[in-house]
C-alpha cells in the first residue's frame, strides 16, 4: 500500500517524505525559541507545524504540534480534507520528546498506535 508523508514546518517549508532529522528539527523549532531576530508576535504568527500521513487512498492523518505544547490529531477520509472521519483529539502539555515520538510513529505508518495514544492521553489531559 503506497503512502504519503508531508511535513509542514513552522515557517512554511513543505517537506515530502521527511527524514527523521527533519522531523526532529521541526519539533525543536517549536520548543526552542531562540532566534534573536524574531519577536513574540513572530513566534505566535508561526506557532505550529504539522505532518500529514496515510495511504494514498486514505484515510489521511494530520498531527499538529504547537508552540503552546499542544498536539491535535485530525483524521480525514481522504487527502482533500472533505470528510472528517472523527472529531479532532487534543493533548495539552505535550513534551518535546513525546511530540517527536508521535511524529515518528505517524511517519512509520503506525497510525493505530498514534490514534490509540491520543484517545488515552487526550481524554486524560485535554482539560489540562
Where along the chain do its domains lie?
A: 3-125
Q: What residues contact residue 111 under an 8 Å CB cut-off, 6+ apart?
A: 53, 54, 59, 61
Residue 69 and residue 119: Cα distance in Å, rounded? 17
What's the CA dihedral at 41, 101, 88, 84 to 10 degrees? 110
Supply the pLDDT for residue 34: 86
At 3, which helix (H) or strand (E)?
Answer: strand 3-8
Please, are residues 114 and 81 in contact by the beta-carbon 8 Å criterion? no
Q: What residues contact residue 81 under an 8 Å CB cut-off, 6+ apart?
A: 60
C-alpha grid cell, residue 118: 491520543
Average pLDDT on 13-19 reads 97
Supply the pLDDT for residue 64: 98
Average pLDDT on 93-122 reads 94
- How far is C-alpha 5 from the geometric centre of its chain's CA atoms? 11
For the stretch 62-95, pLDDT in tens is 999 999 999 999 999 999 999 999 999 999 999 9
pTM for this entry:
0.91
Under the banding of pLDDT at 50, 70 and 90, the label for residue 123 is low
Amino acid at each position: 500500500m503506497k503512502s504519503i508523508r508531508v511535513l509542514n514546518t513552522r515557517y512554511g517549508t513543505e517537506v515530502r517524505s521527511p527524514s527523521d532529522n527533519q522531523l526532529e528539527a521541526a519539533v525543536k523549532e517549536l520548543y526552542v525559541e531562540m532566534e534573536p531576530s524574531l519577536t513574540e508576535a513572530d513566534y505566535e504568527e508561526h506557532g505550529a507545524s504539522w505532518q500529514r500521513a496515510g495511504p494514498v487512498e486514505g484515510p489521511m492523518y494530520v498531527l499538529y504540534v504547537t508552540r503552546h505544547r499542544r498536539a491535535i490529531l485530525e483524521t480525514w477520509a481522504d487527502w482533500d480534507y472533505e470528510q472528517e472521519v472523527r472529531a479532532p483529539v487534543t493533548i495539552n502539555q505535550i513534551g518535546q520528546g513525546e511530540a517527536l515520538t508521535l511524529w515518528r510513529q505517524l511517519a512509520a505508518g503506525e497510525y493505530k498506535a498514534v490514534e490509540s495514544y491520543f484517545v488515552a492521553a487526550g481524554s486524560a489531559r485535554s482539560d489540562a
